[in-house]
Amino acid sequence: MQLIRTVSFPEPQLLADLSPLPEGLRGVVWDMQGEPDAAHGSIDGVILPYINAGAVLGNLDKVQDLKFVQTQSTGFDGVREAAGPGAAVANASGVHAAATAELAVGLILAKLRGIDQAVRDQATENWAPQRRQSLADRRVLLLGIGGIGQELARRLEPFEVTVTRVGSTERTDEHGQVHSSAQLETLARDHDILVSVLPLNDNTHHLVNEQVLAALPDGALVVNVGRGPVIDTDALTAEVVSGRLQCALDVVDPEPLPKGHPLWSTDNALITPHVGGNASAFEPRILKLLKRQLEALAAGETPANLVQQGPFQQASSQQVSSPQGASA
């Protein structure tokens, strides 16, 4: 049974890129700024904008009979609440995994090898060679074992590191042992690098807290390419500004980081402006996903990546499980 017949697109180009739509679907353009145009008629499904979707989520309640919401990001914090329990919500799990994993590796290498400092030295024509840490032989504590976590672990393997994976519960999967997040403080004591690719939810908020950060060895590197509030910013700032820890962050809390914040001015921090998934791989991959989703909706089938069932009662357990890992 076809539940979705009219889908809104956040901008005309996205609708054009996906046209012609599958038979039985109608596309309209709604940028989610204020009320939908009366000419749109009844909207059943909404594709959220990629950039700053959180700023317009409140306008989902202006759709009278909302049945489906599709994000263009892996993270979906706040979307289920804004859509309401009667609407299905799907995320873009898989679209951003490669690009976000790439950036994580880049941030690790840049901070360990002092590339950020070399850029500052170049601006002053300062030749200042130092012996710095290699990535080889480092012990990496990876928080998040979903799509992004898998891609990152795969990319780290050739660097001759030891990777310890942490998920919500302790178990063994096809890649080996997964430790529980309850063990995080104990695990932190024996690792040189902590990388978070976790989504934000009640269980992950400030999971990396003052106690976990204090347990890390002196000089350890904290990397976050998931969601900012997973790490306690105040606790991290204190450790980094003191010089005991280093950090490389693509996501922060609050975001953007306010002007004058101590992390901007300390040499121990490397900050990128939430660009993990915003790379050349994004457009072809999001179009491929959206095309599949629209085809499923037109055929009356359950779309992929559901994080809230809504009216799709036949969603598989794989589709309704929370996707692990978050990106832009």
- CA-closest candidate to residue 76, choices 170, 204, 168, 178: 204
Tokens describing residue 99: 């690009």
Whether the predicted pLDDT of 143 surpasses 70: yes
The verdict on whether 295 is a catalytic residue reads no
Convert 138-156 to b/e letters by CB count within 10 Å (16 or more is b): bbbbbbbbbbbbbbbbeeb
255 counts as catalytic: yes
Can 6-94+280-308 and 96-271 be said to share one CATH topology? yes
96-271, what's its fold?
Answer: Rossmann fold (3.40.50)
Q: Whole-angstrom Cα distance, residue 311 to residue 296? A: 14
The band of 39, judged by pLDDT with boundaries at 50, 70 and 90, is low
pLDDT mean over 279-296: 97
Which whole number is the average pLDDT over 37-44?
78
**Is there a contact between 277 and 72 (Cβ–Cβ < 8 Å)?**
no
pLDDT-based confidence at 191, cuts 50/70/90? very high
Nearest to 80 by CA among 251, 295, 310: 310
Active-site residue, from 255, 261, 295, 301: 255
Reference 194, options 154, 157, 131, 152; nearest CA is 152
Q: What mean pLDDT value characterizes the chain?
A: 93
Residue 325 has pLDDT above 70, yes or no: no
- From the list 96, 165, 179, 227, the catalytic residue is 227
Query: What pLDDT is stored for residue 40 in this prediction?
Result: 67
Q: Which fold has domain 6-94+280-308?
A: Rossmann fold (3.40.50)
Q: Give me the helices (H) in the chain, please.
A: 12-17, 79-83, 97-112, 115-123, 147-156, 184-188, 210-215, 233-241, 262-265, 282-298, 317-320
| Residue 145, pLDDT above cutoff 50 | yes
What is the arithmetic mean of pLDDT over 272-276? 96
pTM for the predicted model, two decimal places: 0.89
User: Is residue 165 classed exposed, middle or buried when 0-12, 13-18 and 19+ CB atoms within 10 A define those classes?
Assistant: buried
- Average pLDDT for residues 156-184, to the nearest whole number? 95
Options 96, 138, 274, 285, the catalytic residue: 274
pLDDT classification of 1: cutoffs 50, 70, 90? confident
List the chain domain ranges: 6-94+280-308, 96-271
* DSSP conformation class of 150: H
| Mean local confidence (pLDDT), 101-116 | 98
Count CA within 13 A, CB hemisphere, residue 154: 13
